[in-house]
Chains A and B, each alone.
Chain A
């Protein structure tokens, strides 16, 4: 292959490294109204009275909106970027009389400068009727305090939601006789695990600007992964037709799923629609930390039955997920906690997977890389590591006995058949990389200092089967240059480049000859957006199909110009040849412009399956048992993403994902006060890993070939975050002698557990 699998530079790389103004706030018009939100200081309250008259007198203030400005009878909506009808309940209004978490918007302010708005914010008089709040998600279900008592709450899909029970979703599934198999198992591991609502912490905060265009339409430019869903969400929020809205995205300063929810767009959209003036909102880091779309906090109860030889016979998982004040991505994230952990164990005779997703009075959760699989894999992989310990079997050996294999039908993975898998090779590779057999799982390296090793496996999906739609338009321009138009969102991931590599491979040209445009709801073909690990696999396949069709058209037109049949000509990327004659691509393009049929193709793709990528990861830690200080000496991983479309980008995605996973395992903590105030409201409190925190991260690519993917590719973006959690937890359990079941594992917990264990 000439383009696919080549480690070429990203198309936008040089613009990014030279600091060009390509992000939302760089591009906003200078005369924009600034939009700010007054936010609720209470976790659960009714606005009894709100008076903005004094605030409106502040010079520079253009407009202030409250729930009184939202038309009565407005339909509720969701900000989750999902295909219609969204599984997430319609439980939001743009502004509501009922505020449901500390940070819920109370008023939208717009003005010419920030200082005026700060002053005005203080002059808004709000009287609240403060209500009791549900802050512990373990008490939310059937709690007398309802987060959404309103009659106009709606659930569009049968996800088991019931707002009268604080239930955002409920589901049960399984196969085989779970209780029977557990009862007859030689050993049962029974544990409860807990993970917190980590923040994506992309470097660019949420940002949107809006203008009214020459046709009177609302033009939204936003840092979003989901231009088309965003357009629908704004239409719902404003009660205007989608045809009146255009959404486009410039470069995005990181997403990781945060921007799969319309966190910021609806507010400036409302201001610009009302005032007909340009406006922008740029969230502060505090807002990005406290009023956004973090990972769902989950409690996972695993019961795992096995033979004494270490064959996993049954997995019973109950997941309780905390969606917070609104249900964004609530019903769907929870599903991955079981469907993308249980299927790793191919020999299991039975499984059961029961889920509850509950409303509470904290900020709404959303989509974060891994999307529930991360939490589920932490629990299941930790249980398997404990099983290995109890049986005295090496964790790698135990995995080798159990893993799912190519050709296996996976009952817990929607009954899909596994069509590509290099999990066995990933295990072998990582075992060698980390020096597992030589080092052993724990060794002393000084007084009270130990080195410890741990490992874990992971899988994810490649798009949502039968739901995600990828789209690509390819056009041959008159100079013989192609334009590839997409609505998948390159958020640093490099899909503009990898999709061009796919098209270039089919069209026998350099990726430099493919200009990429996107994403824009007016000009791009429909695509559900970049999430659920869909872009490489789903949009990639659409691009491949599109390029094949365009190639066919080029050959047909070339043949006709040469007076030949398509079957008799050849196309080498530069010219179509028939015997000794040829026409160049530019000549073919010129002919197409002159009425010989356009050389433009649009293709969409949706896949009935979601082939899982796999990963194995292992860590070596050094632990000071007195202080609990942990040093990550090394993290080694091997990933099977089918064919790596661009090995450089695969590698960096993997390295970045691993460090995020390490952050979730060791540092990143979300805590609320007893009043529901988020404590981790800045990067001072919320500690993401720095380059001082990790010795080294090494990634190996163990390719498989996925027959349904473009040139054999599967996804890579999400699977990479999952393995550090169980690996680190197991290594620390080995060091201390006590199982760790809650993340993050902080130094004080390690030191305390060690002391406790000793006594």
Chain B
């Protein structure tokens, strides 16, 4: 069936198979940051925004995104770099494979709750698995980022 999806600001109209996942759709359109880690909505690697809500694209059909805005990390280069550099400063990106999904969800968290507590951070990102870092470095990066962003805003 024919769908129109606004992927990172680009209007794409094309035929998709009714059982094609949004994950496969965005990857086939060059958004390779979106990874498949489990196929069962357990790992968070395939997180994208549907409109402005984080969703797991492995469990969402492409047709569900018809007439909707889909954003991947490719569509948020500035935010990715800004927050990502704090992961990099901790060495907490490690293998990097889970990073795009984590960063998408972290961006969603900051938009919803600019000053999350440790517990709120853990809860919000609970579905983003990482096997390298033990999560501690990610937590340090998030807190450093929030501190930096706040001091930046104060200055402005």
Taking beta carbons and an 8 Å cutoff, which residues of A are in contact with B? 7, 9-10, 12-23, 26, 200-205, 251-256, 282, 284-286, 491-494, 646, 648-649, 651-652, 655-660, 682-684, 688, 690-692, 694, 696-697
In the complex, the answer to whether B74 meets A203 with C-beta atoms within 8 Å is no
In the complex, the answer to whether B38 meets A683 with C-beta atoms within 8 Å is yes
* A254-B131, A656-B94, A683-B129 as given contacts; A17 in contact with B137, CB under 8 Å: no
Q: How far is it, in angstroms, between the C-alpha of A724 and the C-alpha of B155 when the chains are bound?
A: 45
In the complex, the answer to whether B131 meets A692 with C-beta atoms within 8 Å is no
Q: Which single residue of chain B is at the shortest CB-CB distance from A13?
A: B88
In the complex, the answer to whether B137 meets A9 with C-beta atoms within 8 Å is no
Cβ contacts A to B, 17 pairs, < 8 Å: A9-B88, A13-B88, A17-B81, A17-B85, A26-B32, A203-B98, A205-B37, A256-B131, A646-B91, A648-B89, A648-B90, A649-B91, A652-B90, A682-B40, A688-B131, A691-B135, A694-B134
Select which of A9, A493, A659 is within 8 A of B134 by beta carbon.
A659
Q: How far is it, in angstroms, between the C-alpha of A205 and the C-alpha of B135 when the chains are bound?
A: 20
Residues in B whose Cβ lies below 8 Å from that of A697: 134, 136
Select which of B36, B93, B123 is within 8 A of A16 by beta carbon.
B93
Q: How far is it, in angstroms, between the C-alpha of A204 and the C-alpha of B135 when the chains are bound?
A: 17
Residues in A whose Cβ lies below 8 Å from that of B93: 10, 13, 16-17, 492
* A17-B87, A682-B40 as given contacts; A253 in contact with B96, CB under 8 Å: yes
Residues in A whose Cβ lies below 8 Å from that of B87: 13, 17
Chain B min CB distance to A220 (Å): 20
In the complex, the answer to whether A203 meets B40 with C-beta atoms within 8 Å is no
A10, A16, A18, A204, most chain B CB atoms within 10 A: A18
Q: How far is it, in angstroms, between the C-alpha of A646 and the C-alpha of B138 when the chains are bound?
A: 18
Q: Does B45 contact A (CB under 8 A)?
A: yes
Residues in B whose Cβ lies below 8 Å from that of A254: 94-95, 97, 131-132
The 6 A-B pairs with the shortest beta carbon distances in the complex, nearest first, are: A19-B33, A492-B95, A17-B84, A16-B96, A253-B97, A655-B134
In the complex, the answer to whether A252 meets B133 with C-beta atoms within 8 Å is no
In the complex, the answer to whether B42 meets A17 with C-beta atoms within 8 Å is no
Q: Does B150 contact A (CB under 8 A)?
A: no
Residues in A whose Cβ lies below 8 Å from that of B43: 203, 683
* A10-B91, A253-B95 as given contacts; A285 in contact with B38, CB under 8 Å: yes
Q: Does B92 contact A (CB under 8 A)?
A: yes
Q: How far is it, in angstroms, between the C-alpha of A254 and the C-alpha of B45 when the chains are bound?
A: 14
Q: How far is it, in angstroms, between the C-alpha of A692 and the C-alpha of B130 when the chains are bound?
A: 12
Q: How far is it, in angstroms, between the C-alpha of A19 and the C-alpha of B84 when the chains are bound?
A: 10
Q: How would residues 75 to 109 of chain B score, 1 for a CB under 8 Å from any chain A CB and 0 otherwise?
A: 00100110111011111111111111001000000
Number of A-B residue pairs, CB cutoff 8 Å, is 178
Given contacts A254-B131, A492-B96, A683-B37, 19 further A-B contacts (CB under 8 A): A13-B96, A16-B99, A17-B85, A18-B81, A19-B100, A203-B98, A203-B130, A282-B36, A492-B132, A648-B90, A651-B91, A652-B134, A655-B135, A656-B131, A656-B132, A688-B131, A691-B135, A691-B139, A694-B134
Q: Which single residue of chain B is at the shortest CB-CB distance from A254?
A: B95
Residues in A whose Cβ lies below 8 Å from that of B39: 284-286, 682
Chain A min CB distance to B131 (Å): 6
* A17-B103, A285-B38 as given contacts; A656 in contact with B134, CB under 8 Å: yes
B37, B43, B94, most chain A CB atoms within 10 A: B94
Residues in B whose Cβ lies below 8 Å from that of A14: 81, 84-85, 88
Q: Which single residue of chain B is at the shortest CB-CB distance from A662?
A: B134
Select which of A19, A200, A494, A692 is within 8 A of B123 by beta carbon.
A692
Residues in B whose Cβ lies below 8 Å from that of A682: 38-40, 42
Q: Which single residue of chain B is at the shortest CB-CB distance from A114?
A: B24
Residues in A whose Cβ lies below 8 Å from that of B128: 691
In the complex, the answer to whether A696 meets B136 with C-beta atoms within 8 Å is yes
In the complex, the answer to whether B131 meets A18 with C-beta atoms within 8 Å is no
Chain B min CB distance to A253 (Å): 3
Q: How far is it, in angstroms, between the C-alpha of A682 and the C-alpha of B38 when the chains are bound?
A: 7
Q: Does B3 contact A (CB under 8 A)?
A: no
In the complex, the answer to whether B88 meets A659 with C-beta atoms within 8 Å is no
In the complex, the answer to whether B95 meets A658 with C-beta atoms within 8 Å is no
Chain A min CB distance to B84 (Å): 3
Q: Which single residue of chain B is at the shortest CB-CB distance from A252?
A: B95
In the complex, the answer to whether B37 meets A7 with C-beta atoms within 8 Å is no
Q: Which single residue of chain A is at the shortest CB-CB distance from B124?
A: A691
In the complex, the answer to whether A655 meets B122 with C-beta atoms within 8 Å is no
Q: How far is it, in angstroms, between the C-alpha of A15 and the C-alpha of B129 when the chains are bound?
A: 20
**B34-52 residues at the A interface, CB under 8 angstroms:** 34-40, 42-43, 45
A23, A26, A203, most chain B CB atoms within 10 A: A203
* A17-B84, A690-B126, A691-B126 as given contacts; A648 in contact with B91, CB under 8 Å: yes
Select which of A285, A652, A691 is within 8 A of B92 by beta carbon.
A652
Select which of B35, B88, B126, B136 is within 8 A of A203 by beta carbon.
B35
Q: How far is it, in angstroms, between the C-alpha of A646 and the C-alpha of B38 when the chains are bound?
A: 32
In the complex, the answer to whether A694 meets B33 with C-beta atoms within 8 Å is no
In the complex, the answer to whether B137 meets A652 with C-beta atoms within 8 Å is yes
In the complex, the answer to whether A9 meets B91 with C-beta atoms within 8 Å is yes
Residues in B whose Cβ lies below 8 Å from that of A493: 94
Residues in A whose Cβ lies below 8 Å from that of B74: 19
Q: How far is it, in angstroms, between the C-alpha of A649 and the C-alpha of B134 when the chains are bound?
A: 12
In the complex, the answer to whether B97 meets A203 with C-beta atoms within 8 Å is yes
Chain B min CB distance to A661 (Å): 10
Q: Which single residue of chain B is at the shortest CB-CB distance from A497?
A: B91
* A18-B73, A19-B80, A202-B95 as given contacts; A655 in contact with B133, CB under 8 Å: yes
Q: Does B125 contact A (CB under 8 A)?
A: yes
Q: How far is it, in angstroms, between the C-alpha of A660 and the C-alpha of B131 when the chains are bound?
A: 7
Q: Which single residue of chain A is at the shortest CB-CB distance from B86?
A: A17
Select which of B33, B94, B122 is within 8 A of A492 by beta carbon.
B94
Q: How far is it, in angstroms, between the C-alpha of A252 and the C-alpha of B88 when the chains are bound?
A: 17
* A285-B39, A684-B42 as given contacts; A655 in contact with B94, CB under 8 Å: no
* A9-B88, A683-B40 as given contacts; A203 in contact with B134, CB under 8 Å: no
Residues in B whose Cβ lies below 8 Å from that of A660: 131, 134
Q: How far is it, in angstroms, between the C-alpha of A12 and the C-alpha of B128 when the chains are bound?
A: 21
A13, A17, A21, A254, most chain B CB atoms within 10 A: A17
Q: Which single residue of chain A is at the shortest CB-CB distance from B118?
A: A696
Q: How far is it, in angstroms, between the C-alpha of A82 and the C-alpha of B104 when the chains are bound?
A: 39
A201, A205, A656, A691, most chain B CB atoms within 10 A: A691
Chain B min CB distance to A384 (Å): 26
Q: How far is it, in angstroms, between the C-alpha of A235 and the C-alpha of B90 when the chains are bound?
A: 41
